[in-house]
Amino acid sequence: MVTQAMTGNFLNGYHCAAMPRTPGSIFAQQYEIGGVAPYDLNYYLKFHVPIAKDTTNSSNPVPCVNAPGSLPGGASGLGVGPTNAYTSGSASAFPSGSIVQHTYGIAGTSSCTAAQDLSGAIDSSIDLMRFGLMTFDQDPSSAIGVSTATTPQVLGAPFTECGPISLAGITERHARIWAILQTASRRSFSPSERAILRHLRGRGE
């Protein structure tokens, strides 16, 4: 509902798929960078992707999604998805092809059209409202996936700080985000993770 309210009604009906964030899943493959899985792999809540019905071929309508295309600022072996798709230039750019529309899935996909009308708040109020995006990427760290140069480039080890936690060199910001994910997934904590949580909570067990 919020998606359509902001961006416009999906023509031919709105649908949604709940994608498990498990290893080897469509989600894991589609959003990996340089072969490295997304930081929220194994998160217990599924990723819900909007799906439009493309009826260009009326006898064979297909489910169509917006998906990662070529990763700006990437390089050979440092692209997005199973094909490591990338484009040169700055990682902060938004070139044509960085987001694509194709049929739902990974293998054997084809181009399609996820058509929306112009009834959304962004369309009708673009000259009256300011729109922005807030992410977790607040500091220059290898965990954000790009360098801090004038022309940012994709780094060789994205998401590395979201792996197994150790006390050495960890920042409270990263520990707090990871603690939230771990708590939500009801995972058992290692001794080092419990030590970090005790520090964040300001008390013992």
Please provide the average confidence, as pLDDT, over all residues in the chain.
Answer: 75
**SS3 call for 4:** helix
Write the pLDDT tens digit of every residue in 152-175: 777 665 554 444 444 444 444 444
pLDDT tens, residue by residue, 82-99: 899 999 888 888 888 899
Question: Token digits for 7?
Answer: 């961006």
pLDDT in tens, 68-77: 999 998 888 8
CB atoms under 10 Å from CB of 159, counted, come to 20
Residue 138 has pLDDT above 50, yes or no: no
Residue ranges covered by each domain of the chain? 2-126
At 29, the pLDDT band (50, 70, 90 cuts) reads very high
Helix pair 172-184, 191-201: axis angle to 10 deg: 110
Percentage with pLDDT > 70 across the chain: 66
